[in-house]
Amino acid sequence: MVEYPNDQRLSEILKAVSDTTRRSLLTQLCQQGTSRVTDLASLYDMSLNAISKHIKVLEKAGLVARRTIGRTHWIEPRIERVQLVEKWFKQLKSIWELRLERLDEILKDGGI
């Protein structure tokens, strides 16, 4: 198995965004900016506790950060971590591009 730098972090990010609610929360935060947990929870048909658990998974993956001011919890997006996923996809794309270029060369040379 091929190991990639930051493989553990990449796995945490992909696991965190594998859930539709967490992807929706992250999208909401990126579109609207920093939001209160209670405001985020009001957008979903689930308990505040359930939303908090989803946010904690996103926090652990480094995709959001929490600031507490008094009793209010503010959640802000941290999209820098998504660059790891983007970089991984670019690596996959370049591997396939090389393979397709090689196949094209073979076909042009009449090698198949």
Cα angle vertex 42, ends 36, 63, to 5°? 50
Nearest to 23 by CA among 54, 56, 67: 54
Give me the DSSP letters along 24-49. Answer: HHHHHHHHH-SEEHHHHHTTSSS-HH
Whole-model pTM? 0.73
d(CA 3, CA 32): 36
Q: Are 28 and 63 in contact (CB under 8 A)?
A: no
Domains of the chain and CATH, by start: 7-79 (1.10.10.10)
What's the average model confidence in pLDDT over 49-74? 96
Asked if 19 contacts 58 with a C-beta cutoff of 8 angstroms, the reply is no
Structure tokens at 72: 């209010």
Confidence of residue 102 (pLDDT cuts 50, 70, 90): low
Instruction: Write down the pLDDT at residue 54.
Output: 98
Give the pLDDT band (50/70/90) at residue 48. very high
Give 13-43 pLDDT, tens digit per residue.
Answer: 999 999 999 999 999 999 999 999 999 999 9
More confident residue, 30 or 88: 30
**3-state DSSP call for residue 66?**
strand
Confidence of residue 91 (pLDDT cuts 50, 70, 90): confident
Report the pLDDT value the prediction gives residue 97, as an integer from 0 to 100: 64
Q: What mean pLDDT is reported for the chain? A: 86
Residue 52 scores a pLDDT above 70: yes
